[in-house]
Structure formats: C-alpha cells, structure tokens
Amino acid sequence: MFFKILFGCLLSNLYLLALQAQELQLRYTEPAEKWEEALPIGNGRLGAMIYGGIQEDEIQFNEETLWTGEPRNYNKADAHLFLDSIRNLLHAGEQGKAEALAMREFMGVKSEEDDATTWLNYLAAGRKEKINPSNFSFNDTDWKEISVPSYEGWEHIGLEGVDGAVWFRYEFQLSEEDIKKETWSLDLNKVREMDFTYINGVFLGSNSTFDDRRIYTIPAGTLKKGKNVLAVQVINLNGKGGIAGYKDTSQHIGLVSKGKKISLNGKWKYAILDANTPRVGKYQAAYQPFGTVQVSFPHDRVQNYQRILDLKNAEVYISYTHQGTQFERTYLASHPDQVLAMHYGASRPGQVSFEVELASKHAKQTIETLNEQTLHLQVDVKDGALHGDALLTVNLDAGHASIKNGRLIIRNANAATLYLTAATNFVNYSNVTGNSFELAKVRLKNVDTKNFQAVQQDHQNDYGRLFNSFSIDLGAQDSSATNVRLENFSKNVDPAFAALYVQYGRYLLISSSRENTQPANLQGIWNHLLEPSWDSKYTTNINLEMNYWPTDVLNLSSLHQPLFQLIRDVSEKGQETARSYYNARGWVLHHNTDLWRGTAPINNSDHGIWPMGGAWLVNHIWESYLFNQDPQILTENYDIIKGATLFFKDVLIPHPKTGELVSSPSNSPENGGLVAGPAMDQQIVRNLFRVYIQASKILDKDVKLRDSIAEMLPKIAKDRIGKHGQLQEWMEDIDDPENKHRHVSHLWALHPGSEVNWDSTPDLWNAARKSLIMRGDEGTGWSLAWKINFWARLLDAEHSLGLVKMLLRPADRSGGSYPNLFDAHPPFQIDGNFGGAAGIVEMIVQSHTQYIDILPALPNAFSKGVIKGIKARGGFVLDMEWNNHQLTKIIVRSIAGNELRLKYQKQIKKVNTVKNGIYQFDGMLNLIK
C-alpha cells in the first residue's frame, strides 16, 4: 500500500508539473511510428531517439565520434600549379573549361579505393550465363519482395547497408490490344547507379549515371500477351542504391506508348547477388548510427497513453494504464554521468517485466554477455578505422534479471533502470588509439552506486544551469498535442507554439553541443542511417554556421566551445590546404569538413571550390566576443583570425575588368558554377579584415600587418546594385528574377553580417530587399529559417512571421517540420531548428548596428510577451515585457560596463554603465533605476 501511495504521489506531482509547464513540452497521444516522430535526447556525446512503443519499443542511439573514414591527407600536392590556368579561363569567360580543369586538378584527394574492373567483369560473366535472372522463365519463387521505386535509395525500404549487385524482377500482364501498339518504351527515370535492364530476356540497355534518365525503347516483338517479366540488375558500389524512379512520387515508372503509361510501381522480387564490393574512394567521411535498444513488454491494449518531451528537465516521459496498473517510463541523457538512463516503474509492486536486446545496422558486430545483467555490443565501421563498444546494464528494485539468448530479461520488479553508455577508439582527428571498451566501462561505473533518482537529480541540475538562463512567454498556452498544433499553426498563429519552438532549439543545442564534445553536425547528434543525407557532416557554406546562430543571443554562450575547437582543428589542417592549392600562407577551409577535419575542395568543381568556410567561422569567434566582451576569446583565437586573414591577403587578385580585389576561383553557394568574385566572398572577406584590424588593436599585436590589411580593405570589390534594383550576386549584372534557388548567399552582409543595414547603407538595404523578393519565399527548411532572419533585419514583421508559418507547417517537399519538430530540408537537417529559433528572437531584439533595437519587427500576432535572459552585443543581458504591441518594461544587466545604447521605435537612450550594473527602464526608455 505504501508503494502504491508513493507512486501515486509521484504521478500526481508529475501531472501538476506537466500542467504548469505545458509551454515547455512536446506532447503526443500515440507512440512514434517513424524516426521523424520519435523524441530526441542527448548529452552532447550520446544521442537517442525515443519511440515510446507499447508492446515493442525502440531507443535508437548514436555516439558522436562513430564515423566512417580514418586520419589521412585530403590534399592534392601542387594543385596550386593549376590555379592561374583556372583563373585565366574564368577571366576569359570559359567557365565550362575552368570547371573541367578544376575537376581534374583542383579537387581533394579521395580515400583509398580498389580497382573494380575484376568484380564488374565477374558480374558481366554472370549476366551471360544461359540461366540467369534476366531469363523469362527464371525461378524466383524463393526471392523476397521490396517496394519499387525508392527515390532516396533502397536503404529506406529494407536494404540499408547494402552495396553491391542486386537483381530485381517484376511480372506484369499485357492484353492483346496492348501488344499491338506500334512502339513501347520503358521509363525507369533514374537508377542508383548502374543498371542492366531486360524484358523477357531481351536486353534493353544500360547506364551508369544517376542523373541520366533510363528510358529504353522496347524492340518490336519483345512484349507478349499475358505474362511479361522485367528484370533489372542494379549495381551500386557505394551510397544509395536501387531503382529510384521519380522524386515526385505521383509520377510512376512504367511502360509508355503514345501517351499511355502502364504503371510498374509496386512490390518487386529481389535477390542480393553480391554485396562484397570493392572499396570506393570518398572525399569525406559520414556520421554513423551506433545501435538500438529494443524493449519488449507484456502489454497490448492500453489506455490514457501520453508521450512527452519535457524541455524544462530534458526528459522524455511515457505513461499509460494497462489492466488497472499505471505504467511510466522516463528517459534522459546524463551529461554528468555520461549515460543514457531509461527508468521503468508501475503503480503496483512487482508489475515491471520486460525483455531487452541490443542491435545494430553495422555488418561487423558482436553481442555478448558480460554478466547476468549486462550486455555488450561491439561494432566496426565498414572500411574505416573506428570501432565502438556499447554497454547496457540494469539496476532493479526487487524482481529478477537474467540473460538468455542474448536478451536481458526482467521479471516482477517494482522498478527497473537501464543504463547505456558507448565509446569509440577516436581520440582526435589524427589519433584512433583509444580503448573504447575500457572507456565505456569507466563511464558505466559512474552509476554503479547511484540510484535513478540521484542520476536524475544530477542531470537536472546540470541541464538546468544552462536551460534556465533564458525564458520566453508569448501568451496563452494550447494544450493540444504537438502534431495538432503543427497542423494548425499556419492557419491560426499560436504565439506560444513559436515560443516553444525557440526553447526547443535551445534544448537541441544543449543536447548536441557540450564542452569537449564534437559540434552539432547536419543532424545535431541524431542519425539512424548508414548512408545519411550529405553524410550528416559539417557543411560550412551555411549549415554549420546556422547551427550556432542561437548560441549567444539565447544565452548559451558556453556551447560555442565545440565549434571553436573545430575551428582550431581546421585552422591546423587547413594550413597544408592553403599551401597545396593556393601557395598561400595562413589556412583555408572549403565548403565541407568532417570528423577528420578535411579542408580541401570536395564533390564537384562547380560548387566545391569555395574558400570562405574558415573566414565565415572566424566571424563566430568575433560575434562571441561582441556578445560577451571577454578579451580571452580573442587572445585564445588570435592566431586563428590572423591565419585566415593572411590567407586572403595572399590570394585576393585584381579583377581583370575593374581592378578591384576579388576571390578566384570560387562560387556563390551552390548556384551559378565556378566564377571570380561572387558578392558573398567579398562581403565575408571585408568582414574578416575588419575583424582582424579590431582584434589586433584590442590585443595590441602586429601593427605592420594590421596597417597592410587596412590598406587592402577599401580595394576589395564593393557590393553592386543591378538593373532590377537588386543586390548583385556576382560581379556581372546577370541575376535572373525567375531564379528561386534555396541559397541567398549574396545577402550575407545583411545577415549574419551587419554591413548592409538601414542605418548606414539604406540603398544596399533596399537592394537586398529586392533580391529577396526576386528569390521568393519558398525554400528548404534551413532556407526558410535564413529568410526569417533576413526579413527581420529588413524590419518587415509580417513577412518574417509568414516565413515562420512556412517553417512551422507539416513537412512536405518544400520544407517545414516533422511531427517531432525536427526541421525538414527535406530530409531532416537540424540547421533549420537553430536558424528558426534565432530568427524568431531576431524579430524581438536586434543588436547588429550601433543600437540595441527593441521590438524592431514585432508581428501583430505577438501582441504581448515576456522574455528574460536574451543577450545583446556590447555585453548586455535583457529582460523585457510588452503588452498590446507596446514595450512596458526593460531591465538591462551590463556584463562589461560599456555604454548602453537602446532604441525603441523613434526613441534612443544612451546610458553609461558599470560592470555588472543593472538598469531598469519603462516603456518610453525612461531610466527608473
């Protein structure tokens, strides 16, 4: 009875807390069926996705350093010998030739690869055998079935981790009238990557390029009345595989004749012929999933199901009633103890029973028993240097634990807690000698003598120290489920949902970027695919930077540390790239990097040769200084700033037509191909030079270098206003008003830069507005997030809110948000979450000019609000309230004692402050105390 009362009190307290904090919860009434519906937890090192299943539950987990690849040299020696030739071709208007030469001689070095000739010849010989799967009468009765087509690859429909040769067969029926048609063709659209295609044993054709459409003419007499058999051998050496078909799934693959199409979408039979592929070289590595915890419960029909992500405590709660017993689960990722904790309880003693097993998608894996309550999963990454160890153990309150056939079995406990930890042999980007098993054991010992309540309390204290530094309230709360609120937001703006989205962004950043971890990648720390989109790495022409836009303004400045460590790493690795490709001093980073800190150009010369990644990242160091006014930030990173500056001092060249200094070769990400002097480059370099000049003055260093940079600065190509009134994207006035490209790179100086603003450059500010109108509102998730910030900087509150509505809509092919509020590129990319959170707050406070501008782009829907802990440049922390669209109170804490310059509507207030002084103003900016 005591246990029942105690548990009942616990549930009542949880319920009251839930009622009080609904604005800080994502709430659902059903388990997740898809990964994009599961709820994320993380401690910066370990991440997990909680599905909350009833009979079968899944906790998919990641460890931040499990990647493909290994330490190696990414740089092509003496690539700089071709630099002048590429530049000369660009200056002569020979873009195509310049890109071809750069593709041959100026790209990064891929990882080691094998000669595939022998293996491909072996497959070819098999296709020539008298009996093979292309035959009409081939016996495929034992083959499995799979859905065809799949545009994102067979990885998404059951063949994840498979590279190699796979046969597909599909039977279809034709009538007498069908076969009398004069001509038929087969339309498969796209295949990943190589196909050999047959109908009724007749070879139709082959292709090995994904971008080429597979439309094959069917020879007369090939088709038969009744049964016909289409057979396709797909060969995929690496990455996504399969019959892709159309990205627009409303278009089917099929037989085509004079406007008629017979759909061939459906269940096809398949057999894996050979998955032992030769190694394929890759420019950079990919982030990997680690494994899953699979839990089985003796529960079927339940009542009152709730699934909640509590942002206040960084915990996921599952609760339901089964046969009169209330069951609850709590999931958390502890940073102090470096474990994932999964706690299971019930309202009656002895009712907690379940079975657990570990699993992984990696082909090389072993699962063993360490003792009667601990499982050990060991995985090896395919063709890579990294391996990982995960340990899962259970602590019981009463009951019994045993292991049978690799399954941990819990019976008749009052409560049970699973603890999971994982580690790899990664030490740093040049060292993989770590002992992952011993490290995992050490971390598991953190909780040997602690009960769940102690682990939970330490977790909450640690997390709360960060999360509670900021709050935002935009009005009445909605108790509807989160997926319902997402459905409704664009139709009827729910300000509290926008506030929740801001706090969710902060939650995700705390969960994926903690001190001495890797920075948040394209998916933060969460990834369930062996072949994640864009390798889930660090794209530095917008995406990595966007991840950290909320860090200072939303009062999480310490979370910059992982990013700053990455910048330090790439500044070291990028020195060789600067020498090899540009014969220059300093360091350079192009548009991507990974765990191994590759800095060379990758992918394709039309977008991969973009030397601005490092210069943009340097701006994050400077911005952190502006917000926090800590000279130590500059002292620790001065050599990094100087190295980036030296690089551009060496590589900028006079434009042949104007004589202005420009970058060449480069591109305007990822639009328009290889060029000289895209506007974004010059904006970033001008900013870099100003940052260096100011940093060297503050630290009193390198006067001669500073003076030489100051002399170069006005010679850098200026922004131009084109014939449409737009801010030009390139040196030439060639912007296309119909171009709706997702990148709007030439507005970098508007945001995140500050050179283009209403106060000092109104003409360029208006030109930026015109460019944004031309580019249009639609875009992928992160693009929508960037445009929220753009329109906030353009002081257009309703347009900015319109883009918030587009971001907070159910995900479709144009972006939006998934049911768990993950940003949809699509697919999932976390940058839109971070950029969107920063953008909503950019509507409320801006500090990129000489003033801290209060409510500069406040939309009508945000008529009242309270925000506390927002940071502003100059070293200030603000608490503020407004009602009926009017400021009512603002309290400012001065971190550094600088002059405070507030702006609200047409009012300006300047106040000399003292360090840690607190200043309160009324709605008219009158100083109260």
Q: Could you tell me which of 361, 357, 366 has the C-alpha nearest to residue 295? A: 357
User: Are residues 914 and 897 in contact, defined by beta-carbon separation less than 8 angstroms?
Assistant: yes
Beta carbons within 8 Å of 253's beta carbon, 6+ residues apart:
148, 149, 187, 188, 189, 243, 245, 246, 263, 264, 265
Q: Which of 660, 687, 718 is the last residue before a domain boundary?
A: 718
User: Are residues 497 and 478 in contact, defined by beta-carbon separation less than 8 angstroms?
Assistant: yes
145, burial (CB in 10 Å: exposed 0-12, middle 13-18, buried 19+): exposed
Could you read off the pLDDT of 607-630 as tens digits, one per residue? 999 999 999 999 999 999 999 999
Same domain, 572 and 699: yes
Same domain, 252 and 331: no
- Which residue type is seen at 121? N
Q: Could you tell me which of 350, 568, 547, 333 has the C-alpha nearest to residue 456? A: 333
Whether residue 754 is contained in a domain is answered as: no
Sheet of 194-199, strands arranged across: 144-148, 266-274, 164-174, 226-236, 194-199, 202-207
Same domain, 164 and 244: yes
Same domain, 31 and 163: no
Whether residue 516 is contained in a domain is answered as: no
User: Are residues 556 and 845 in contact, defined by beta-carbon separation less than 8 angstroms?
Assistant: no
Instruction: CATH number of the domain at 919, please.
Output: 2.60.40.1180
**DSSP character for 112?**
P
- The yes-or-no verdict on residue 363 having pLDDT over 70 is yes
User: Are residues 4 and 11 in contact, defined by beta-carbon separation less than 8 angstroms?
Assistant: no
Please give the radius of gyration of the chain, using alpha carbons only, rounded to the nearest integer: 29
Same domain, 304 and 446: yes
User: Are residues 280 and 113 in contact, defined by beta-carbon separation less than 8 angstroms?
Assistant: yes
Q: Which of 668, 703, 718 is the last residue before a domain boundary?
A: 718
The pTM (predicted TM-score) of the whole model is: 0.93
Q: Which of 718, 734, 752 is the last residue before a domain boundary?
A: 718
Instruction: CATH number of the domain at 700, please.
Output: 1.50.10.10
- The yes-or-no verdict on residue 2 having pLDDT over 80 is no
Range of the domain at 917: 844-929
Q: How far is the C-alpha of 498 from the C-alpha of 489, rounded, in Å? A: 9
783, burial (CB in 10 Å: exposed 0-12, middle 13-18, buried 19+): buried
Q: How far is the C-alpha of 420 from the C-alpha of 391, rounded, in Å? A: 6
Could you read off the pLDDT of 315-336 as tens digits, one per residue? 999 999 999 999 999 999 999 9
Pairing state of beta strands 653-654 and 661-662? antiparallel
Token pair recorded at residue 376: 């050990």
In the chain, the N- to C-terminal Cα span, in Å, equals: 57
Same domain, 81 and 149: no
The predicted pLDDT at position 6 comes to 41
Same domain, 440 and 579: no
Residue with the bigger pLDDT between 220 and 311: it is 311
Which residues are paired to 394 by β-bridges? 418
The predicted pLDDT at position 712 comes to 98
Could you read off the pLDDT of 822-834 as tens digits, one per residue? 999 999 999 999 9
Instruction: CATH number of the domain at 224, please.
Output: 2.60.120.260
Whether residue 208 is contained in a domain is answered as: yes
Percent of the chain with pLDDT over 70: 98
**DSSP character for 240?**
S
Beta carbons within 8 Å of 215's beta carbon, 6+ residues apart:
185, 186, 187, 188, 189, 256
- Three-class DSSP category at 231: strand
Pairing state of beta strands 266-274 and 339-346? unpaired
Could you read off the pLDDT of 4-19 as tens digits, one per residue? 334 444 443 443 344 3
Same domain, 136 and 251: yes
Instruction: CATH number of the domain at 344, please.
Output: 2.70.98.50
Output the CA–CA distances (angstroms, integers) from residue 511 to 579, 748, 839, in the order listed.
Answer: 37, 28, 20
User: Are residues 842 and 857 in contact, defined by beta-carbon separation less than 8 angstroms?
Assistant: yes
Whether residue 593 is contained in a domain is answered as: yes
Tokens 């836009």 sit on residue:
549
The predicted pLDDT at position 22 comes to 52
Whether residue 96 is contained in a domain is answered as: yes
Whether residue 787 is contained in a domain is answered as: no
> How many helices and strands in the chain, by DSSP H and E?
20, 44
Q: How far is the C-alpha of 307 from the C-alpha of 30, rounded, in Å? A: 7
User: Are residues 588 and 581 in contact, defined by beta-carbon separation less than 8 angstroms?
Assistant: yes
16, burial (CB in 10 Å: exposed 0-12, middle 13-18, buried 19+): exposed
- Position 144 confidence tier, pLDDT thresholds 50, 70, 90: very high
Same domain, 59 and 141: no
Output the CA–CA distances (angstroms, integers) from residue 773 to 667, 730, 741, 804, in the order listed.
Answer: 22, 17, 12, 16
Output the CA–CA distances (angstroms, integers) from residue 456 to 62, 330, 333, 447, 530, in the order listed.
Answer: 21, 10, 9, 11, 32
Same domain, 270 and 122: yes
Please, what is the average pLDDT of the chain?
Answer: 95
Whether residue 490 is contained in a domain is answered as: no
The predicted pLDDT at position 13 comes to 44
Same domain, 319 and 448: yes
Q: Could you tell me which of 238, 229, 296 has the C-alpha nearest to residue 264? A: 229
Same domain, 604 and 707: yes
- The yes-or-no verdict on residue 843 having pLDDT over 90 is yes
Could you read off the pLDDT of 473-489 as tens digits, one per residue? 999 778 899 999 999 99
Could you read off the pLDDT of 54-92 as tens digits, one per residue? 999 999 999 999 999 999 999 999 999 999 999 999 999
Within 356-494, residue ranges assigned H as helices are 436-445, 452-467, 482-489
Structurally, how many domains does the chain consist of?
4
Token pair recorded at residue 446: 């953190």
Whether residue 855 is contained in a domain is answered as: yes
User: Are residues 167 and 243 in contact, defined by beta-carbon separation less than 8 angstroms?
Assistant: no
Could you read off the pLDDT of 547-606 as tens digits, one per residue? 999 999 999 999 999 999 999 999 999 999 999 999 999 999 999 999 999 999 999 999
User: Are residues 165 and 196 in contact, defined by beta-carbon separation less than 8 angstroms?
Assistant: no
Could you read off the pLDDT of 730-788 as tens digits, one per residue? 999 999 999 888 999 999 999 999 999 999 999 999 999 999 999 999 999 999 999 99
